Copies of this chain bind each other. A is one copy, B any other.
Amino acid sequence: MATETLATWSKDLTFSSLPTEVISAATRSFYNWAGCTVGGSAHPATLIARKALSRFSGPPTSRLLGSIDSVDVDAMHAALFNGIASHVHDYDDTHLDTIIHPTGPVASALLAMAESLERPISGEEFITALVAGVEAECKVGLGVWPDHYDVGWHITSSTGSIGAAVAVSKLLGLSATQTAHAIGLAATQVTGLREMFGSHTKSFHPGRAAQNGLLAAILAGEDYTSSTQALEAKRGWANVVSTSNKLDEQIGSLAPSGRWEIVQNAFKPFPCGIVVHPVIDGCVLLHGEMNKAGLSVDRIEEVNVEVHPLVLELTGKTAPRDGLEGKFSVYHGGAIGLLFGKATPAQYEDGVVVGPRVVGVRDRIRAKVNAGFRADECHITVLFEKEGGEHVTIEKHVDHAVGSLERPMTDDQLVEKFVDQCVPVLGRERTDEASRWCWNLERQQDIRQIKTVL
């Protein structure tokens, strides 16, 4: 029943039934996605994909966000390229209970499709479809978490295809049966092995998931048939891609009687794996205190950080050699926090990661595990030798890193993140216009107008 239940739930979802906090979460998710997509638009992974595949695009309808030359391609390719760009800096959103980055696959498919339609799609319709897609992928993700991820699947894309299919089916007004077929067509395209982490293919995953779901909904809309028990059948998705599942329970917990998942969506303040965030957060705060106290980073003798065990397991690289490796180094994260007071994509560029000032600070950082810490907790101690030989120590304990559900990024912080990513690509004026347009998503009358600003 899970497949048909989900399909019917999505078909029946209305904008007027969405609580205010859901609309706000959807707007923030879209806004953050748009900024990340612009920010990733010039990354080699995005540019190579465009170079390799643009010749296969049909008539252009849909914008590549942030393309300086305002490039449109067909909806299929826009879904792929925007999906890659949205994820390539590891800067996108995170549904913390599943570590799904939910908006990439869904919004990339949805926006591309909405732009290609002849009738205008309103912001309200768009938000409703976005919520349907995000709820779908997070619920099926919760249904197979954590075994599915442990097996080796990149859960963002393996569930993202399904989320994108549900969202586009909603946008196109498919029947419940057609939506079930779309879910089946998406479920049978299981994309994303974790083995690909560390290569361009990691960002290919959400892009391809967006395409998979878009393709699924378009085929189902013409009555291409699939299984209507695709998720729950004996040899259906959940049983094939996971060693155990609680799919029925999770699909049974769809809102409003159950829980809205999009409200659980968090936003990354820093463009790297979430386990490094507490250390960066603490170091950014210490940077401000050092400035006030007149303590120079050049006088640091030693930095000691205590962290959750996963931090060293996942990000223990002591001498990263480029930007990508920098994302897997808690030492680099701490160094840029102390040195620059910020960690944006600019601080993860290759030249910065191997630059002498960063390396100088990085090499003085020692990390050790504190098994009693939560994943979003850390403790940092910085020892200085002042001129004249006096020793000074300052400390910072981070209970919950910024970006966690306990300390969510504020709207202002999301704007700052958006601006940081967009200004180098679009310039200040267009960035401000784009920022206003995206925040106003709910009141837009025609989504196709996004092309006037992005």
With known contacts A56-B58, A215-B53, A227–B48 Cβ distance under 8 A:
no
Q: Is A57 an interface residue (CB 8 A)?
A: yes
The reply to whether the CB of A270 lies closer than 8 angstroms to some CB of chain B is no
Query: Taking the complex as formed, is A448 at the interface, i.e. its CB lies under 8 A from any CB of chain B?
Result: no
Cα separation A441 to B191 with both chains bound (whole Å): 35
A151: interface (CB < 8 Å): yes
Of residues 73 through 129 on chain A, the ones whose CB sits less than 8 Å from some CB of chain B are 74-76
Given contact pairs A152-B235, A152-B240, A239-B152, A52 touches B224 in the complex (Cβ within 8 A): yes
B239, A225: Cβ atoms closer than 8 Å: no
- Which among A198-206, A273-281, A408-416 touches the partner chain? A198-206
A236: chain B residues at CB < 8 Å are 152, 193, 195
Task: Report whether B229 and A201 are in contact in the complex, using a CB–CB cutoff of 8 Å.
Answer: no
Contact B230 A196 (CB under 8 A): yes
Interface residue A7 (Cβ < 8 Å from any Cβ of B):
no
Flag whether A405 is at the interface (Cβ < 8 A).
no
Q: How many angstroms from the CA of A208 to the CA of B240 in the assembled complex?
A: 19
* Residue A294 CB within 8 A of the other chain: no
Total count of chain A residues near the partner, CB < 8 A? 56
Chain B residues with CB below 8 A from A230, complex form: 193, 195-196
Whether B193 contacts A237 by the Cβ 8 Å rule is yes
Asked if A24 is an interface residue, CB under 8 A from chain B, the answer is no
Q: With A59-B55, A152-B239 as given contacts, are A189 and B189 in contact (CB-CB < 8 Å)? A: yes
Say yes or no: is A453 at the interface (Cβ < 8 Å to chain B). Answer: no
Instruction: Indicate if the CB atoms of B219 and A53 lie closer than 8 Å.
Output: yes
Q: Would you call A240 and B56 a contact (CB within 8 A)?
A: no
Q: Could you tell me the distance between the alpha carbons of A200 and B188 in the complex, rounded to whole angstroms?
A: 12
A230 and B152 alpha carbons, distance in the complex (Å): 12
Cβ of A51 under 8 Å from chain B? yes
Q: How many copies does the complex hold?
A: 2
- Contact in complex: B240, A52 (CB < 8 Å): no
A410 → chain B, closest Cβ, in Å?
Answer: 36
Asked if residues A76 and B56 are in contact (CB atoms below 8 Å), the reply is yes
Bound CA–CA A215/B189 (angstroms):
15
A38 on the interface (CB 8 Å rule)?
no
B227 touches A201 (CB 8 A): yes
Q: How far is the CB of A5 from chain B (nearest CB, A)?
A: 17
The 8 A CB mask of A180-200 against B (1 = contact, 0 = none) is: 010011011111111110111
From residue 2 to 47 of chain A, which have CB atoms closer than 8 A to chain B? Answer: 45
Which residue of the partner chain, among B52, B57, B76, B194, contacts A221 with CB atoms under 8 Å? Answer: B52
Tell me whether A224 and B48 are in contact in the complex, defined as CB-CB below 8 angstroms, given that A153-B240, A201-B184 are known contacts.
Answer: yes
Shortest Cβ distance from A187 into B: residue:
B193
Within 8 A of B (CB), among A219-276: 219, 221-227, 229-230, 233-237, 239-240
Complex contacts, A205 vs chain B, CB 8 Å = 188
* Residue in A181, A190, A191 whose Cβ sees the most chain B Cβ within 10 Å: A190
A-B contact pairs, 28 of them (CB 8 A): A49-B219, A49-B224, A52-B218, A52-B219, A52-B221, A52-B224, A53-B218, A57-B58, A58-B58, A58-B74, A152-B234, A152-B236, A152-B239, A152-B240, A187-B193, A188-B193, A188-B205, A189-B208, A195-B229, A195-B230, A195-B235, A196-B227, A196-B230, A198-B227, A200-B225, A200-B226, A201-B225, A201-B227
- A interface list, Cβ under 8 A from B: 45, 48-49, 51-53, 55-59, 74-76, 151-153, 181, 184-185, 187-196, 198-201, 204-205, 208, 215, 218-219, 221-227, 229-230, 233-237, 239-240
